[in-house]
Amino acid sequence: MEDCRWEKITGWQLAGFGLGLAVFVALLLASESGFIFGLDHANLLFHEAGHPFIGLFSARLEPYGGTLGQLVFPVALAVSFWRQGRALAFAASVIWFFENWLNIARYMADARALELPLVGGGDHDWNTIFTRWNVLPYDLNIAGTVKFLGWTGMALVVLWVGWCGWRDRKRPDSIAQFD
């Protein structure tokens, strides 16, 4: 990776990012089995938009549309910020991407229990998908793995930000202004 690919992260930005991260993780842990207000509303909105969109192309793939819809916006943002060299905005997008995995895992874990209230009022996505894949009895194991990967992904991004900040500590401000 080129040193100047990303714009410099200042100590203040790093501190702000750390503070935001601490609040975010506290919210995540506090709502471990629940729902983060605001963020998961956005996830839900994108989820519900994803079904009919994918459904336009294939009725068979429609159950996957919600999950894809949830993931496509953080990915699009991450790509955009990556191209602009905005390290912290990129990191926040990737964290949002992996936070979605926790949200998806929560839905997966409900595949047999069928206890979550379903906004769309239709079928339970993961009950449908896991039944199709013949893995319904393993819903909790799969959900556990997805949740673990979500946390791991977020942890790796945070480590990357820390590494960028450490690397940037002596870097002059004048280099790599991308705007």
Would you tell me which residues interact with Zn ion (CB under 5 A)?
66, 125
- C-alpha span between 14 and 20 (Å, rounded): 10
- C-alpha span between 100 and 116 (Å, rounded): 16
CA distances from 15 to 19, 20, 49, 53, 166 (A): 6, 9, 35, 40, 12
Rg of the chain on CA atoms, in Å: 19
SS3 152: helix
- Nearer Cβ to Zn ion, position 67 or 93? 67
What minimum distance in Å lies between the beta carbon of 137 and Zn ion?
21
Q: What share of the chain is helix, strand, coil (3-state, %, to 5)?
A: 70, 0, 30
What minimum distance in Å lies between the beta carbon of 146 and Zn ion?
15
Could you tell me if 65 and 82 are in contact, meaning their C-beta atoms sit under 8 angstroms apart?
Answer: no
- Nearer Cβ to Zn ion, position 63 or 85? 63
- Nearer Cβ to Zn ion, position 15 or 56? 56
- Nearer Cβ to Zn ion, position 90 or 107? 107
What minimum distance in Å lies between the beta carbon of 65 and Zn ion?
7
What minimum distance in Å lies between the beta carbon of 143 and Zn ion?
15
Could you tell me if 92 and 73 are in contact, meaning their C-beta atoms sit under 8 angstroms apart?
Answer: no
**Residues 6 or more apart from 85 whose CB is under 8 A from it?**
5, 6, 7, 176, 178
What minimum distance in Å lies between the beta carbon of 118 and Zn ion?
7
By beta-carbon distance, which residue lies closest to Zn ion?
A: 66
Could you tell me if 114 and 127 are in contact, meaning their C-beta atoms sit under 8 angstroms apart?
Answer: yes
What minimum distance in Å lies between the beta carbon of 175 and Zn ion?
46
- Nearer Cβ to Zn ion, position 66 or 165? 66
- Nearer Cβ to Zn ion, position 91 or 104? 104
